[in-house]
Chain A
Amino acid sequence: MGISLLSLLIWLPIFSGVLVIFIGNDRANIARWVSLILSILIFVISLSLYTSFDSSTHLMQFVEKSSWISQFNINYHIGVDGISVPLIILTTFSTILVIIAGWEVVTKRCSHYMAAFLMMEGLIIGVFSSLDAILFYVFWEASLIPMLLIIGIWGGVNRVYASIKFFLYTFLGSVFMLLSIIYMYNKGGSFAIIDMHNLKLSFTEQSYIFWAFFMAFAVKVPMFPMHTWLPDAHVQAPTGGSVILAAIMLKMGGYGFFRFSLPIIPDASLEFSEIIIILSLISIVYIGFIALVQRDIKKLIAYSSISHMGFVTLGIFTLFLSYKQDIIEGSLLGLEGAMVQMISHGFISAAMFLVVGVLYDRLHSREISTYGGVINTMPKFTGFVILFAMANVGLPGTSGFVGEFMVILGAIQANIWYGVLSASTLIIGAAYTLWMVKRVFFGVITNPAVSMLKDINVREFSILAVLAIVVLVIGLYPQPVIELMHISIEHLLHQALTSKL
């Protein structure tokens, strides 16, 4: 493929979005088809990124670089490695799902809805492929704008509160990242992320930068105690918004830890790893218990998302624990587990939110108590739900198992108690997921509206079927995903364990 493959992946969605806006809301059907065709095209292009990617090197590939703001030596510098490629493909894949999922459901300003998702796709791909810190920051912040509008315009009753909270929370987190980036520029004279990887920083500097980055990334992931925006945002967002939020936007936080925190400030990461691990464990266990008592299905899944993302941060930071005990194997396991967990959570959470969307479109309620006995009227749908619920629990054979298993294994090697605590999520997760499934789908029909439900149509069936296949394939044969990122992760591990002092 030509050298402009990555630029195409960033700008094609953005310009598609502009095109779709100009199609207008009056010609909603054309807007839908154009968005679908373009998003599939973008997905195909992103697949060619995978096929022509050379996974035997950790170096950045498909690199493009041209001067952007010469005064500060800021460049339009993009490129991908094994960590970004899977996330980019996840992004392009999820966008197709979202566009199909909003097909008949979104009637209000349909073309704007599609356009917002297409633009966000381009901006998020930009985040995952920026090699210049300011370019990264620009994409990072810009991706908040479409999400703000998606939650605010197409959201639920309390959408204004949720959208503004979402925006301010994440914005507050990231301005500190901006300051530390500026600080490092003043020190090293370059905004290139790779130059920052090699920048010598004293321990005090590293600690400040660590917490600044932590503010930005932990809010995004989100980690306890900075997670409170997420349930609000998820509950109020339209189905598509929730899917993108859970499947991709949360991954931006994890990606930030991979790309910034570990290689730039290894010593501070080592020093504070214990705190992050404890916060992750609180996310996993405590938030799991909170999920257990939710009455709102969407809120339950939102909390379960936080709990599962806890594995990502746990996996990332256990590497330092293993390192202290000279278990290199364990550190690699944790990091790769975190990465696999991000990908797998992308698919599973997307599926779970789509499932809620299917129910919500029919009865306009997210309360668990509204439902009961759905299996009697929607057998095909329930079949899918049970598969995804199992994947959410982490049943072997589904993608949910692979990542969590790797992280737990890494954690047990590092510290048996951490391992035990993180493994407890298998029970808590099973409890909240399966109990929810039991109350919503099984039992006798108590609500007469449920007895009138129609089973999923072809559109819904096809989305869920594709997701089911992906979840199973990654669960049964995760090797291609792991191979794709292996060398890059090894290199990252090497960077994270090399002291800068």
Chain B
Amino acid sequence: MNNFIKFDTSSLWVVLPEIFLLSAIVVILLLDLFLNKYSQQVTYYLTQLSLLITGLLAFNLIDHSQVIIFSGSFILDNMASVFKVFMMVATMIAMVYSRHYLRAHLLFRSEYFILVLLSILGMMVMVSGYSLLTLYLGLEILSLSLYALIAIAHERVYAIEAALKYFILGAIASALLLYGMSMIYGISGSLNINEIANFVSNTDLTSRKTLIINFGLVFLVIGIAFKLGSVPFHMWVPDVYQGAPTSVTLFISTVPKIAAISILIRILVNGLGSMHSYWSDLFMVLSILSITLGSVVALVQTNIKRMLAYSTISHVGFIMLGFVTGTLTGYSAAIFYTLVYILMSLAAFGMIILLNKQGFEVDQISDFKGLSKHSPWFALMMLIVMLSMAGIPPLLGFYSKFFILQQIVSSGFITIAIFAVIFAVISTYYYLQIIKFMYFDEIDNNITINASMDMQLVLSMNAILILVVGLFPDFLIQLVLSLF
């Protein structure tokens, strides 16, 4: 067995998107040294451009048959390519929103964009990682960039607190994940997902080896649950969401979810798929707790970022339910939910950013008071986003819940489905609360919207997409089904 990574230049086209992005980061970083403070816009446009090109390169690789290179540590398959494209699109949208926020709060620094690009690189490695080591490497690139990104508003106490919290808890999570990986490595003798899968499926599940695999499995699940932010490993989510600058919250709550889901799929589904009956029970508990706590605690929040943090926890619970089913369609449902959630979360945080003005931080639910009077259009957009998050048809959020519920019911977990819908109804209350502030309240805040045209346009498209894809969801559903 060859444990060294063999470098075969003929297969480098597989990692073309990653290579391009890395070079782009280096170029932008160097270029930035020579830019004065007033031409920093260039960094922004270069960032968007490199995201676009990386996305196109990844798009080019869609539908390519599966290739595993670098001695089995890097995989290119449909799922990786689709995830990468989706990540680029989501990040581009997030960057448009970020620019408005950074300008309004005088945080416009080129480091911001560099760090975002670096974290994307980490996520691309995670999405394509096919050995425990690559996966961990990607995770660390992502995490380290995110810690710095949160602390970019270093004059704010809350941001520092959030960054520290995220750093310490993230480090613990990484340690747990590593510990789990080391156990799996110890028993199976390989870091490669494929070889682990072979080893586990050939192991007699009654033998004593199972104990160690199980031990490792639990740590892996905990580490992943930490990254996803599911209860009881959710403590960091509300604080980080609230403390981080809104544009960073927007980023953290969206794109890294894809990476977390893909690391989950690589390790637990591709690697330890035959242990499904062991980890699905853990997932069931985690998702039930997440849905309950997320829905109930969000009810009493007044800070909209904190509220959306708890709502994320409950959405994560739904996503994890998809993995309980143990069928490929169930996993597709979870991926579908993730993609839909990202689209909704982008729009929701985008709306919060939209209301930010020079030096005026919007983070209370009541800041939305009277929006429908001053900007009926964006109130309507927010209405769409909130109802979609609540899962009201014909908006996209309904189909994601529907897909998960359908899979749960067909796997025979009807009581869990009943439980989930009851909490979905409970969670509707806080989404309605925002609609109430926007539409029903007489008192208003005299909101003015002075965002640039591109921000307004992208945000409107984002929200309308939720409605339009909701009316014609077939394409997206077919797409996620083709990933396995």
Contacts and interface: CB of A to CB of B under 8 A. Distances in A.
Contact of B425 (A152, A175, A186): A175
9 contacts: A71-B477, A71-B478, A112-B376, A164-B429, A168-B429, A171-B428, A172-B425, A178-B402, A178-B405
B414 A179 contact: yes
A152 B436 contact: yes
Nearest to A140: B393
A175 B424 CA distance: 9
Given A175-B421, A182-B406, A186-B406, A71 B393 contact: no
Contacts of A141: 392-393, 398
B435 interface: yes
B464 to A, nearest CB: 12
Interface of A: 67-72, 112, 134, 137-138, 141-142, 144-145, 148-149, 152-153, 159-160, 163-164, 167-168, 171-172, 175-176, 178-179, 182-183, 185-186
Interface of A is mostly: helix
Q: Top 6 A-B pairs ranked by shortest CB distance? A: A138-B393, A175-B421, A152-B440, A186-B410, A172-B425, A141-B393
A160 B474 contact: no
A176 B436 contact: no
A144 B398 CA distance: 14
Contact of B392 (A72, A145, A172, A176): A145
A149 B478 contact: no
A144 B421 CA distance: 17
A134 B474 CA distance: 14
Contacts of B392: 141-142, 144-145, 171
Given A68-B474, A71-B477, A175-B424, A164 B394 contact: no
Given A145-B387, A179-B417, 8 more contacts: A142-B393, A163-B436, A164-B429, A167-B428, A168-B425, A175-B422, A179-B414, A183-B409
Contact of B421 (A145, A159, A164, A176): A176
B391 to A, nearest CB: 9
Interface string B383-404: 0000100001110001100100
B478 A153 contact: no
Given A152-B440, A164-B429, A168-B429, A179 B474 contact: no
Interface in B178-209: none
Contacts of A148: 432, 435
A68 B478 CA distance: 12
A186 B477 CA distance: 18
A21 B429 CA distance: 27
Interface in B451-484: 472-474, 477-478, 481
A152 B440 CA distance: 5
A178 B417 CA distance: 11
B393 A72 contact: no
A69 B439 contact: no
Given A149-B439, A152-B439, A160-B436, A179 B398 contact: no
Nearest to A25: B376
A134 B406 CA distance: 12
Interface in B137-181: none
Nearest to A186: B410
Interface of B: 372, 376, 387, 392-394, 398-399, 402, 405-406, 409-410, 414, 417-418, 421-422, 424-425, 428-429, 432, 435-436, 439-441, 472-474, 477-478, 481
B376 to A, nearest CB: 8
B405 A159 contact: no
Contact of B440 (A144, A145, A160): A160
Contacts of A152: 435-436, 439-440
Residue among B409, B414, B417 facing the most chain A CB atoms (10 A cut-off): B409
Given A152-B436, A186-B409, A70 B421 contact: no
Residue among B405, B406, B414, B417 having the largest count of chain A Cβ atoms under 10 Å: B406
Contacts of B421: 175-176, 178-179
A164 B436 CA distance: 9
B405, B432, B441, B472 — which one has the most chain A CB atoms within 10 A of its CB?
B432
A69 B417 contact: no
A70 B474 contact: yes
A69 B406 contact: no
A69 B479 CA distance: 12
Nearest to B470: A138
Contacts of A164: 429, 432, 436
Contacts of B418: 176, 179
Contacts of A186: 406, 409-410
B471 to A, nearest CB: 9
Contacts of A137: 393
Contacts of B387: 145
A233 to B, nearest CB: 14
Contact of A69 (B372, B414, B474): B474
A184 B189 CA distance: 47
A167 B372 CA distance: 20
A379 to B, nearest CB: 38
B402 to A, nearest CB: 7
A148 B392 CA distance: 12
B409 A179 contact: yes
A153 B425 contact: no
B273 to A, nearest CB: 22
A488 B387 CA distance: 37
B74 to A, nearest CB: 31
A161 B412 CA distance: 37
A167 to B, nearest CB: 6
